[in-house]
Amino acid sequence: MSAATLLQTSFSDLKLVRRGKVRDVYAVDDNSLLIVATDRISAFDCILPTPIERKGEVLTALSEFWFEKLGHVVANHLIASKMDDMPEPVRQHAQTLAGRSMLVKRAEVFPVECVVRGYLVGSGWKDYKRTGEVCGHKLPEGLQESAKLPAAIFTPSTKAEQGHDENITEDQVRDLIGAEQTALLRDTSLRLYTEAHNYARERNIIIADTKFEFGLDQNGELLLVDEVLTPDSSRFWPADSYEPGRSQPSFDKQFVRDYLETLDWDKQPPAPAIPDEVAKATTARYLEAYRLLTGKEL
Ligand SMILES: Nc1ncnc2c1ncn2[C@@H]1O[C@H](COP(=O)(O)OP(=O)(O)O)[C@@H](O)[C@H]1O
Ligand SMILES: [Mg+2]
């Protein structure tokens, strides 16, 4: 278990290659990266100044759980998550990093976010209302908001360095990475989602949609990379209160969003702090997602 909350890391002896909204990524050597999940939380695309205790730990443990569970579908980038198995420069910072870090194989990441949707929500719902389609998939008429789709669909998007990702069609993915790799990423993404969805559904969580990233290792082998099926990369809904025809409460961030909506904040950075009880309730939701999905306490 990690010792305390952590909003940001900086280590003079490790090279920072990227600071994302939630994770700090370091280069360990030519072949491996260290991905550190902090306790940062974002809402409405802004990072809040308040940490969510144990969030980094939940994201790390959940990704590890899914890597293991879905390992028969595709290989993944995980090398180690226990401090004892990490190289010395990482172990030196064990106090900060334990429980929230993954040593991973560095991959050549495909420039595509492999989104899979099983339900009609978010930008998918918006596009459907306007055009009857989502990313080139023609859907039946008369579907309601949050409806379960007849079958999950692959709805890729660009990986924007800045700003928002943009939905693209499978044809556009083919232009980017070729037909063969496109089919491989699509089929693998659909298999991963379908298996995870069915598993989670039995445990009272609906995985409405999710985003995978893939890369090639040095030998050209396909790897599932990044984080996998966490509340940050997916929409989790409590299955008990699921009801099509309206938007669904989000499993993890609903308290944060609800609180922020009561403020007179224009949703531009800097984001306001959230009260202690809202942060605590959010920690409880992350832990509950972990417990429901894995059947274990973290
Ligand atoms: N195995 C890997 N090899 C190379 N890059 C990776 C690997 N796994 C994840 N990444 C990249 O690391 C970055 C993680 O940053 P992240 O904190 O998710 O940023 P963001 O806020 O943009 O989501 C992403 O750009 C992802 O593509
Ligand atoms: Mg990310």
CA of 225 to the centre of ligand 1 (A): 8
Q: What whole-number distance in Å separates Cα of residue 42 and Cα of residue 257?
A: 10
Tell me if 56 CB under 6 Å of ligand 1: no
Taking each continuous run of H as one helix and of E as one strand, the counts in the chain are 8, 16
Q: What confidence score (pLDDT) does residue 151 get?
A: 97
Question: From the CB of 33, is ligand 1 less than 6 Å away?
Answer: yes
**H or E element, residue 258:** helix 254-261
In a domain, 183, yes or no: yes
Mutate which of 64, 67, 77, 109 for ligand 1? The one with the most ligand atoms within 8 Å of its CB, which is 109
- Cβ atoms of 158 and 112 within 8 Å: the answer is yes
Q: Which of 106, 132, 159 is at the close of a domain?
A: 106
pLDDT of 56: 98
Give the pLDDT score at 3: 57
Which CATH number does the domain housing residue 184 bear? 3.30.470.20
Q: Which of 78, 106, 134 is the last residue of a domain?
A: 106
Whether ligand 1 lies within 6 angstroms of the CB of 22 is answered as yes
226 lines ligand 1 (CB under 6 A): yes
* Parent domain of 138: 109-241
| Cα(137)–Cα(18) distance, integer angstroms | 34
For residues 47 and 19, state if they share a domain.
yes
Nearest ligand for residue 38 CA: 1
**C-alpha 82 – ligand 1 centre gap (Å):** 20
What pLDDT does residue 1 have? 47
pLDDT score for 161: 72
- Is the preceding omega at residue 270 within 30 degrees of 0, hence cis? yes
Residues 73 and 11 in one domain: yes
Residue 207 lies in a domain: yes
Reported as a single tens digit per residue, the pLDDT across 14-43 is: 999 999 999 999 999 999 999 999 999 999
| Series of mean pLDDT values for 10-residue runs along the chain (298 residues) | 82 95 96 98 95 98 98 98 97 97 98 98 95 95 98 94 83 97 98 98 98 97 98 96 95 94 96 98 97 97
Atom of ligand 1 nearest to the CA of 19: 17
Decide if 257 is inside a domain.
Answer: no
pLDDT computed for residue 2 by the predictor = 47
DSSP string, 29-92: ETTEEEEEE-S--EETTEE-SS--TTHHHHHHHHHHHHHHHTTTTS-B-EEE-SGGGS-HHHHT
Final residue belonging to a domain, choices 198, 220, 241: 241
pTM (2 d.p.): 0.96
